[in-house]
Amino acid sequence: MKIKIKNICCIGAGYVGGPTMAVIADNCHNVEINVVDLDRERIDRWNSKDLSRLPVYEPGLAEIIERRRGKNLNFSSSVEEKIKIADAIFISVNTPTKKKGLGAGKASDLKWIEACTRQVAANSEGHTIVIEKSTIPVRTANVIKSILESSEFLNDENSNKTFSVLSNPEFLAEGTAINDLLNPDRILIGGDNYEDIESLKDIYANWVPNHLIISTNVWSSELSKLSANAFLAQRISSINSISALCEKTGADVEEVSLAIGLDTRIGSKFLKAGPGFGGSCFKKDILNVIYLCEYFGLHEVAEFWESVIKLNNWQTNRITKLVTRKLFGTLSNKKISILGFAFKANTNDTRESAAIQICKNLINEGAILLIHDPKVNGEQIALDLNNEEFDINKSEIGSEGTWIKVNDIYDSFVDSDASIILTEWEEYLNINWDKVSNLMRKPAWVFDTRSMIDKKNFDNLDLNLWVVGKG
């Protein structure tokens, strides 16, 4: 029998759980939604009156939180209690790459999936639809099912528990999450319980047109998510490889992107050269594809996807080498302004950001970095650069191989030998380079890894300019 979902519990209040549930709450006022997390500090921040303290920055998110929080959207640490009253449970926990043991460095670590599935098995009541929202290896639904159906949890003769497991991967991109959730290209639901698929479809149908809600078997759904990310990342490595060739040949990568993107078979999106893709998903999900291929003996396929990651690392590292070469082969005690630390604009997320590797490389060469980012705080940068003992309140310039966070973009240029644009924040489009030219030590270089600067505007300035894919 088809049930009407009235109470949702989302386990995991991160970059996916928070925004996704906010959008569902905003579009389904008569569905009660509880987002739960073991991380109490994260929950406190979701409940903070000061909306600038929300743990996730996404344009448009704070407004929805303000509208729905305390009405049909609640954030809580009472995981067991909220599982008990839910008709549908979204699993949105982290699935990072395994650090040790079998499959280390490639396979997904499913320990958080397993832990929260056990919580669901132990605490749910009646029929519960369990929905995989996290990105997971193909066939994980079997793991979830066998835990849910294990005698450990169903041995009570009076138990009225039943479950079905659906796969409903999330395709949002950070920085545009709210728009992506409101206007998805498609909603994908994988499973074999027709009635439960219909129940979940009814939730999305509140704002997504029916023809965009598609259902497949559960394995296709799980693999589609990994494949989508692998394809997207592959396009970036492809255009980054061409960016290097452009720099050697005098071609302009933006002109090449435009020309090839107009071919409808190729399409214009995801053809922007940059410092290498970052973010918590692409590398992890490709590594997972590689692991699966190796597991199934598909070594040539594994090698193909491995080359996408190799090219990405090469692109990131070639930028440091290029900066070092242009600054006469030494960065020792040279000040370098770093514009942007997030892995892309409009997010406070730094996971796998190319900026981390590039800053580490520069520090290793002895540079002094003045780092600016409008949304990433100093504590996060210190964590990413492994400076556990770094005093984030320190504002004066340190010695060779150190960094400080600056709040004013122009402070980063004072006496700098170089500036590197690493994140495409809109405010970097409006920098007054004439003013900057007076602040930097000469000869000075600007390295634009996001192709934000129009070379023509630099013609009359005493600044050297390098732009990715243009030289």
Provide the annotated active-site residues: 281
Full DSSP string of 164-210? EEEE------TTSHHHHHHS-S-EEEE-S-HHHHHHHHHHHTTTS-G
The one-letter amino acid at 200 = L
Distance of CA 210 to the CA centre of its chain: 28
CA dihedral 447, 451, 452, 457 (to 10 degrees): 70
CA-CA distance, 126 to 181, in Å (whole number)? 30
Does position 229 interact with ligand UDX (CB under 6 A)? The reply is yes
Task: Using DSSP bridges, classify how beta strands 368-372 and 32-36 pair: parallel, antiparallel or unpaired.
Answer: unpaired
Distance of CA 298 to the CA centre of its chain: 28
**Count of chain residues binding ligand NAD (CB under 6 A):** 27
Of 236, 289, 367, 436, which lies in the binding site for ligand UDX, with binding defined by CB under 6 A? 236
Q: Are 205 and 213 in contact (CB under 8 A)?
A: yes
C-beta closer to ligand UDX: residue 56 or 86? 56
CA neighbours within 13 Å on the CB side: how many for 5? 30
Q: Cα(first)–Cα(last) distance of the chain, in Å? A: 63
Of 5, 14, 65, 288, which lies in the binding site for ligand NAD, with binding defined by CB under 6 A? 14
Q: Are 38 and 115 in contact (CB under 8 A)?
A: no
Q: Which stretch binds ligand UDX (CB under 6 A): 119-127, 184-192, 260-268, 273-281?
A: 273-281
Distance of CA 436 to the CA centre of its chain: 32
Choose the one of ligand NAD, ligand UDX, none that binds residue 382, judging by a C-beta under 5 to 8 angstroms depending on kind. Answer: none
C-beta closer to ligand UDX: residue 87 or 352? 352
What are the beta bridge partners of residue 164? 129
Least distance (Å) from ligand UDX to the CB of residue 225?
Answer: 8
Does position 136 interact with ligand UDX (CB under 6 A)? The reply is no
CA-CA distance, 113 to 92, in Å (whole number)? 9
Nearest-CB residue for ligand UDX: 279
Does position 178 interact with ligand NAD (CB under 6 A)? The reply is no
Footprint of ligand NAD on 230-249 (CB under 6 A):
none
Does position 174 interact with ligand NAD (CB under 6 A)? The reply is yes
C-beta closer to ligand UDX: residue 21 or 31? 21
C-beta closer to ligand NAD: residue 134 or 412? 134
Site string for ligand UDX, 157-186 (x = CB under 6 A): -------------xxxxx------------
Least distance (Å) from ligand NAD to the CB of residue 443?
Answer: 40
Residues in the chain: 471
Q: Are 131 and 200 in contact (CB under 8 A)?
A: yes
Does position 351 interact with ligand UDX (CB under 6 A)? The reply is no
Choose the one of ligand NAD, ligand UDX, none that binds residue 278, judging by a C-beta under 5 to 8 angstroms depending on kind. Answer: ligand UDX
Least distance (Å) from ligand NAD to the CB of residue 238?
Answer: 21
Of 95, 234, 348, 357, which lies in the binding site for ligand NAD, with binding defined by CB under 6 A? 95
Least distance (Å) from ligand UDX to the CB of residue 179?
Answer: 12
Q: Are 9 and 34 in contact (CB under 8 A)?
A: yes
Structure tokens belonging to residue 444: 């000075």
Does position 16 interact with ligand NAD (CB under 6 A)? The reply is yes
Q: Which stretch binds ligand UDX (CB under 6 A): 122-130, 212-220, 275-283, 407-415?
A: 275-283
The residue to which tokens 């973009």 are assigned: 409
Does position 13 interact with ligand NAD (CB under 6 A)? The reply is yes
Distance of CA 334 to the CA centre of its chain: 32
Choose the one of ligand NAD, ligand UDX, none that binds residue 12, judging by a C-beta under 5 to 8 angstroms depending on kind. Answer: ligand NAD
Which residues, 6+ apart, have CB-to-CB distance to 279 below 8 Å?
Answer: 174, 343, 344, 349, 351, 352, 353
Choose the one of ligand UDX, ligand NAD, none that binds residue 14, judging by a C-beta under 5 to 8 angstroms depending on kind. Answer: ligand NAD
**Count of chain residues binding ligand UDX (CB under 6 A):** 19
Does position 172 interact with ligand NAD (CB under 6 A)? The reply is yes
- Please give the helix or strand (H or E) that residue 141 lies within, else none: helix 140-148
CA-CA distance, 172 to 168, in Å (whole number)? 12
State the residues that interact with ligand UDX by CB under 6 A.
170-174, 229, 232, 236, 270-272, 274, 277-279, 281-282, 343-344
